[in-house]
Amino acid sequence: MLRDLTLETTLESVTRMSQYKYETHLHTSETSRCGKSSGAELALHYKRLGYTGVFVTDHFLNGNTTVPEDPSWPDRVEMFCHGYRMAAQKGREIGLDVHFGWEYGSGWVHLLTYGLDQDWLVANPEVLSWDLLHYCDRVHGDGGSIVHAHPFREGVDIVQVLPGHVDAVEVLNSGRDDESNRHALDYANSFGLPKVAGSDIHSIECKRLCGMGFSRRLRDAHDYATAIKAGEGVIIEMPAGRTQEHELEDE
């Protein structure tokens, strides 16, 4: 279950644990067809909320993307990175760390991918033809990391889990209902996988936000992966304009 850390720790220790707040799951309107707010708008939004950084994880080219199929592969990748670039540009102006990632989809399996860059995408034009396990193996082989996003969803009857091929599980997603998030928590606990949270935000009008808090500033996406594997982070939730910190009880 989710437990409010303030019940078990001092306010000082809670504040220290979540001093640096990060959004880990974010979609821009430039690149994700479902996005409602631009990368710049989202960057400014999170800066105003006191976050240290965000990870832009637009739907990849096999998902709900704005990128057309006709251009060459390098051009498609360039267009795919547009939302991230707009967020990063605004981030540099206002002092928000913006990191690159994407949400790779295969049916209802969505994998948040971190630690690889545009050059990697350009160098792997066959990525859309890989099966899920090969995709995971290649990402890990080239130094990336994978979080299984919202593994359980309302209205999805056939669920695939990949416990031996992901680095962590998104157990709190602000777009999913409590039951779906609870199943994700059970999945992570059953296989001893690190637990993370992300808003899956598409619009600055989103009222419920969640993410990860750390006691130090993250250097990059590789540092994020290292930190969650080491259990450094705490899950944070921001409903109705206030931040809460939670720990996840293993059962």
DSSP label of 194: -
Q: pLDDT (tens digit, 9 = 90+) per residue, 131-189?
A: 999 999 999 999 999 999 999 988 888 899 999 999 999 999 999 999 999 999 999 99
Averaged confidence pLDDT in the chain:
90
Vertex 171 angle, CA 86 and 23, to 5°: 20
Q: Is 14 helix (H, G, I), strand (E, B) or coil?
A: helix
Domain boundaries, the chain: 2-248
| Separation between Cα atoms, residue 176 and residue 62, nearest integer Å | 22
pLDDT, greater one: 157 or 39: 39
Give yes or no for a contact between 235 and 248, defined as CB atoms under 8 angstroms apart: yes
Percent of the chain beyond pLDDT 90? Answer: 83
Give yes or no for a contact between 237 and 21, defined as CB atoms under 8 angstroms apart: no
Vertex 236 angle, CA 233 and 237, to 5°: 165
Show Cβ contacts of residue 191 under 8 Å, excluding neighbours closer than 6 positions: 163
Per-residue confidence (pLDDT) for residue 156, from 0 to 100:
83
Per-residue confidence (pLDDT) for residue 206, from 0 to 100:
93
| Tokens matching residue 170 | 């998104």
Give mean pLDDT, residues 49-70: 97
CA dihedral 23, 110, 144, 48 (to 10 degrees): -10
Per-residue confidence (pLDDT) for residue 12, from 0 to 100:
43
Per-residue confidence (pLDDT) for residue 157, from 0 to 100:
82
In CATH, the number for domain 2-248 is 3.20.20.140
CA dihedral 175, 180, 182, 188 (to 10 degrees): -90
Give mean pLDDT, residues 221-237: 95
Least confident residue range of 17-21, 111-115, 147-151: 17-21
Give yes or no for a contact between 66 and 30, defined as CB atoms under 8 angstroms apart: yes
| Separation between Cα atoms, residue 63 and residue 124, nearest integer Å | 17
DSSP label of 32: B
Determine phi and psi for 52, rounding to 5 degrees.
-85, -35
